Amino acid sequence: MTRSFEKVGVVGLGTMGAGIAEVFARAGLAVVGVEADPDALERGRGHLEASTGRAVAKGRLSEAEQAEILGRVTLTTSLEDLADADLVVEAIPEVMDFKRSLFTDLDRICKPSAVLATNTSSLSVTGIAATTTRPGQVVGMHFFNPAPIMKLVEVIHTVVTEDGLADEIAALARRLGKTPVSVGDRAGFVVNRLLLTYLNHAAVLLENGLATRDGIDAAMRLGVGLPMGPFALLDLIGLDTSYEVMCVLFQESRDRRHAPAPILRELVTAGLLGRKSGGGFYDGDEPASSRADGKPSVSSVAVLGEGADEFAARLADAGFKPGYADDADVVVALSHTPVIELAAQLPHPSRLVGLHLVGDKVAEVASTVLTSPDATRAVEGLVRIVGRTPVLCKDRAEFVVDALLYPYLNDAVRMYDSGYAGIEDIDAAMRLGCGYPAGPFEMLDALGLETVRDGLRALYAEYRDPAFAPAPLLDQLVTAGVRSIRDLP
């Protein structure tokens, strides 16, 4: 049986629900929007009018079209008005008890053929479905914020979802102008599972003192081309929400990497929830922009390692004398980890600084336990002179960018290998759900499977976290000489 979805209910018209109601109305469907009480209903109406009003102001919608869209939406505080809806999408707060109680009511009120969907970000769709007498007709329809703009919808089916229903919901998402990605019911689905794990990892590295907040943010933004650094993004998502999602992920996986970073709990307890509370990782301040320091007070620089000639030539152009490792004022070791192994072989280990060039904008500046603050400052200045942003960090495996990026890519490979989601779906989810320039498998291909595998081995050797051990599939692909995971038969 192919269902027709013409009348849709949306319960909860807050941040997400109002946007979801707008999306359905824009696609020509009749929408019944339900709120908890008259005040909340007026706020919901305000969200709808403001959002469509902005589109009119930007010339993306005419006033007549706006009136038509708003005319398709009926607002009410009575769930009974959903009796003849073909589909109801729930967008009330992320609290299991609230959702279960609502679905019990919807199951009683809605016609037997109606499909019930939840917009939950992290809760078990199966657990919600189980409270109804129609678990086969309950799915997840996970929109992204802001719903009218973000193209991705994760469509979640459970083990008891009726055959074909997820496909019908995916077709509906396409009718709304969205790109659906179909997945099973695992905490966090694709986007939050991969994204929040990476953000949490960044918070752990910050706590460990690997680098500063601004350094890590700059490294990921300028070095990888992500739209925001992890701490700016955590503040935007909300630290309380992020903490809750991590708790749900951990509860399901018991994976140490999913355990929320203690700093998240501390900030949340202090009421520092991110942008919405006026403070979080950033206290209303902006990331410090790179300062144009004066010329470093060193005259001779020795450069060692891969790509040394090119870097030394740039420094020579800027007036620095090439030096030898035994007499130079500072010694720069390019891409040599751990840097300390080299330091132990030099006559002046305090002058040695590690350097890792990331893309064409960033250079990670790694100090060892023996490096003097003067040497670090000098290399920071040299990096600026060659036109890159320096990111100061400790001498740890893979420094900052790769230490964050490789485990995220590894997680994506494991996710694919577990049969949870396809390569194209995972790539599309991360591109469309996070605004990333490329999906994880596209990034893997660009970096090279072997480079990432070797980086993961180094991370595992350093931190001994099983999650950093290369996914067996990644290892096998490298051993087999396969260049791209897409080349698999």
Ligand X SMILES: NC(=O)c1ccc[n+]([C@@H]2O[C@H](COP(=O)([O-])OP(=O)(O)OC[C@H]3O[C@@H](n4cnc5c(N)ncnc54)[C@H](O)[C@@H]3O)[C@@H](O)[C@H]2O)c1
- Rounded to an integer, what distance in angstroms lies between the CA atom of residue 91 and that of residue 23? 14
Tokens (6 digits) for 80: 């009974």
Question: Does position 22 bind ligand X by CB under 6 A?
Answer: no
Question: Does position 120 bind ligand X by CB under 6 A?
Answer: yes
Nearest to ligand X by Cβ — which residue? 14
Q: 36 vs 228, which CB is nearer to ligand X?
A: 36
Burial of 35 (0-12, 13-18, 19+ CB in 10 A): buried
Min CB(92)–ligand X separation in Å: 4
Question: Does position 366 bind ligand X by CB under 6 A?
Answer: no
Q: 98 vs 420, which CB is nearer to ligand X?
A: 98
Indicate which single residue of 8, 13, 226, 302 sits in contact with ligand X (rule: CB under 6 A): 13
Question: Using CB under 6 A, which of the segments 21-29, 34-42, 129-137, 274-282 binds ligand X?
Answer: 34-42
Draw the binding track, 72-101, toward ligand X (x: CB under 6 A; -: no contact): -------------------xxxx---x---
**336 is known as an active-site residue:** no
Question: Does position 228 bind ligand X by CB under 6 A?
Answer: no
**192 is known as an active-site residue:** yes
Q: 122 vs 368, which CB is nearer to ligand X?
A: 122
Question: Does position 192 bind ligand X by CB under 6 A?
Answer: no
Active-site residue, selected from the candidate residues 51, 124, 142, 242: 142
Within 134-153, the residues that bind ligand X by CB under 6 A are: 143-145
Question: Does position 36 bind ligand X by CB under 6 A?
Answer: yes
Torsion angle defined by CA atoms of residues 40, 45, 46 and 48, in that order, rounded to the nearest 10 degrees: 130
**484 is known as an active-site residue:** no
Indicate which single residue of 7, 22, 31, 35 sits in contact with ligand X (rule: CB under 6 A): 35
Indicate which single residue of 52, 119, 158, 368 sits in contact with ligand X (rule: CB under 6 A): 119
Question: Using CB under 6 A, which of the segments 31-39, 204-212, 366-374, 432-440 binds ligand X?
Answer: 31-39
Q: 29 vs 75, which CB is nearer to ligand X?
A: 75
Question: Does position 247 bind ligand X by CB under 6 A?
Answer: no
Indicate which single residue of 40, 247, 308, 386 sits in contact with ligand X (rule: CB under 6 A): 40
Q: Are 20 and 143 in contact (CB under 8 A)?
A: yes
Peptide bond connecting 260 to the previous residue in cis, omega within 30 degrees of 0: no
Residue showing tokens 């919807």: 106
Strand ranges across the sheet with 300-305: 321-322, 300-305, 330-334, 352-358, 362-367, 389-394
**297 is known as an active-site residue:** no
Tokens (6 digits) for 110: 């809605």
Question: Does position 418 bind ligand X by CB under 6 A?
Answer: no
Active-site residue, selected from the candidate residues 22, 51, 119, 121: 121
Question: Does position 34 bind ligand X by CB under 6 A?
Answer: yes
Residue ranges binding ligand X (CB under 6 A): 11-17, 34-36, 40, 91-94, 98, 102, 119-121, 143-145
Catalytic residue numbers read: 121, 142, 154, 192
